[in-house]
Amino acid sequence: MKILQIHNKYRHYGGEDVVVDNEYNLLKNNGFEVNQLLFSNEKISPSNLFHSPEAFQTTLNKIDDFNPDVIHVHNIFYSASPSVLKAAKKRNIPVVMTLHNYRLLCPGALFLRDSKVCTKCKNISIPYYGIKHKCFQNSYMKSALLASFIGYNKIAKTWSNTINKFIVLTPFIKKLIVDSSLKIKDTNIVVKPNSTDDLLNVNILERKNKYLFIGRLSKEKGVNILIEAFNKISHIQLDVIGDGELFDELKNTANKNIIFHGAKDKAFISEMLSQTRALVFPSIWYEGLPNTLIEAFSAGTPVLASNIDNINDIVISGYNGETFSPNNPIELVEKVLEFSNKETKQYGINARKLYEKMYTHQKNFENLKDLYSKLN
């Protein structure tokens, strides 16, 4: 089977880019013929957000050259635009699209405003609250452009007219999309989790009483709360892996028990996951299915996570980790101290069981193969 992946790369390589590359390698290693059409946002024209003649023609050329059985679309913002979907429609090629975030409904893509979950735009045709609150890059103009894009494509039924199946990463996201103003049928949405490498280190006999954060150092990840909490428990070490706009600010305010490693490779991350008592995941938005969480599960590492919808379906309190109220450093401190003084081995065993059941590459391949075969 021949699969064409279409993806608009992010300026900073992140979770979605990782998923695209993982699935490319996964399909190729299992005998599929896979090709990629990648776009970048080096040059962005506001008009191209709605339709890009260049992206349309580039996609047509790629389809004619490769002749795919299925096109799997990931991110289309901004250079790719809906034009890639229209090109697939013109050539009558079935399209699967993975929804990695909430961009089809929310101008800010995260359902997040003032550090709290906000879904005011979920059930309205034109997300005018996004304009009112400058939800995209704190700009009225840019937010209005995104809101217009969202509203126009709902009215034009762009998504239902060009996409055969939508992939979402969790049941929570499926329900959110079904209940939204997108009016996508339940039967057109498939829940398919991502997968990650097996990071289990069987040589680790005992974990150290230290904690770990992996991810982008940005506000929506709750890292301010994380640092504030561990500043209050200076006898417990926190390792921070990742980079981002808050790196310098956080490092300058952190006590010596907090060690910033910057961005690191998979081998380093695997080693740290095998040593730590738990991964801390303090995100303040719904997320999708964070790679960090399933990497922790693969390593048999418990997770302390924000008790926020979607995340609390992935990290189950009392099973593969514990949860704490988002934006609450005091409760996080209490949870860390409690976790440091209890037997936690079973949490890790359960995390590993969940990985083997849901998040292996083999399981992901089987899900993709089944989905593609039903469209071909």
Look at residue 48 in the predicted model and tell me its pLDDT: 82
pLDDT at position 203 over 90? no
Token look-up 């907090």 returns 258
Per-residue pLDDT averaged across 5-26, rounded? Answer: 93
Q: Which CATH architecture has domain 210-358?
A: 3-Layer(aba) Sandwich (3.40)
pLDDT at position 184 over 90? yes
% the chain with pLDDT above 70: 99
pLDDT at position 15 over 90? no
Confirm or reject CATH 3.40.50.2000 for domain 2-195+360-375, answering yes or no: yes
Look at residue 187 in the predicted model and tell me its pLDDT: 96
Give the whole-angstrom CA distance, residue 127 versus residue 203.
Answer: 52
pLDDT digits (tens, 9 = 90+) for 307-325: 999 999 999 999 999 999 9
How distant, in Å, are the alpha carbons of 132, 210, 212, 240, 273 from that of 243?
31, 20, 14, 9, 18
- The helices-and-strands tally (H runs, E runs) of the chain is 15, 14
Tell me whether strands 237-241 and 258-262 are parallel, antiparallel or unpaired. parallel
**Mean of the per-residue pLDDT values of the chain:** 95
Look at residue 43 in the predicted model and tell me its pLDDT: 72
pLDDT band at 376 (very low <50, low <70, confident <90, very high): confident
pLDDT digits (tens, 9 = 90+) for 259-272: 999 999 999 999 99
SS3 253: helix
* Dihedral pair phi/psi, residue 292, rounded to 5°: -55, -40
pTM for the whole structure:
0.94
Domain boundaries, the chain: 2-195+360-375, 210-358
SS3 128: helix
Same topology, domains 2-195+360-375 and 210-358? Answer is: yes
* End-to-end CA gap in the chain: 9
pLDDT at position 204 over 70? no
Look at residue 205 in the predicted model and tell me its pLDDT: 65
Q: Which two tokens stand for residue 223?
A: 């890292």
pLDDT at position 27 over 80? yes
pLDDT digits (tens, 9 = 90+) for 208-235: 999 999 999 999 999 999 999 999 999 9
pLDDT digits (tens, 9 = 90+) for 37-95: 999 988 767 878 899 999 999 999 999 999 999 999 999 999 999 999 999 999 999 99
Token look-up 């101008």 returns 107
Q: Which two tokens stand for residue 68?
A: 């795919």
pLDDT digits (tens, 9 = 90+) for 99-116: 999 999 999 999 999 999
pLDDT at position 13 over 80? yes
Residue 348, C-beta contacts closer than 8 angstroms, at least 6 positions apart: 207, 300, 301, 302
